[in-house]
Structure 1
Amino acid sequence: MEKDESINVLGQALAVCGTDPVTGFFRDGQCNTCVADQGSHTVCAVMTDEFLAYSKYVGNDLSTPRPEFGFAGLKSGDPWCLCAGRFLQAHDEGCAPKVHLAATHRRALEIVPLKVLQAHALPA
């Protein structure tokens, strides 16, 4: 699978989202994507208890450890490459987490308007 160019929503080189735990569709610490990434794991977000509870409620439990997949479970404060659609859904429900714009892939803009990402942006 060939990665799309690593460019963020600001038109710059894509920054690292998180390495502990290692995130990203490619598990390379960045929110890189490709045509095989059906969920568009492109939004670098910092987890909150509220968002993790919401995500579990809508069917994607990110907080429970899954050792069979080498996944320790996420906790508040962990950075994670979220599916753009799930982020937008959380925004619409009023529980979207903060976003690291420099680490959010530009393909997220196909789903989430830049002004929505900016409204949730962490301080630069």
Structure 2
Amino acid sequence: MTERNVLGGDLEECGTEPMTGFHRDGCCATRGDDRVMHTVCAVVTDTFLAHQAAIGNDLSTPRPEYGFPGLRPGDPWCVTAHNWLRAHHDGAAAPVRLAATNESVLRMIPLEILRQHAVDVPGDLSGLEP
């Protein structure tokens, strides 16, 4: 069964450069694993990265032994709902791609809060006015 996003559609890919997802498949999927859910597709910023480092989640430092290149502002990355929500409460939330954010986060984060930080762009821009 395909996992769903917070908008009710099929879960879209979050990012592959660098390869993200708990399962390093580019998606913020759960695959039934409830231990640590990397389910929010965030587009990381300097502020978010600094916040994460301050709470003990260093996402900037490369870790070659794990195949992790370290993140730079603008990189899409699946982060835990808990850490994203903490950043939100601390005024450091990263923008979110709703179509690539797993519906499971709605148990912890209200959709209204996620929408405040949404950066999704429709795939077909032809219907948008200039």
TM-score, normalising length from structure 2? 0.89
Report if aligned partners of 1:46, 1:76 keep a CA contact under 8 Å in 2: yes
The 1-side partners of 2:44 and 2:117 are apart by 12
Unaligned ranges ≥5, structure 1: none
Instruction: Identify which of 25, 34, 51 aligns with 2:48.
Output: 51
CA root-mean-square deviation: 1.2
CA displacement at 1:37 relative to structure 2:
4.2
Q: Which runs of 5+ in 2 are unaligned?
A: 122-130
Larger Rg: 2
Residue 90, structure 1, aligned to residue 70, structure 2: no
What's the TM-score once normalised by structure 1's chain length? Answer: 0.93
Shift of 1:123: 4.4
Do the aligned partners of 1:39 and 1:85 also contact (CA within 8 Å) in 2? no
Is 1:105–2:99 an aligned residue pair?
no
Does the residue aligned with 2:77 lie in a helix, a strand or coil?
A: strand
Distance in 2 of aligned mates of 1:60 and 1:123:
25
Check the 8 A contact 2:4/2:102 in 1, yes or no. Answer: yes
CA–CA distance in structure 2, aligned partners of residues 82 and 37 of structure 1: 14
Query: What count of residue pairs does the alignment treat as equivalent?
Result: 121
Partner in structure 1 of residue 73 of structure 2? 76
Are the equivalent residues in 1 in contact too, given 2:39–2:101 (CA < 8 A)? yes
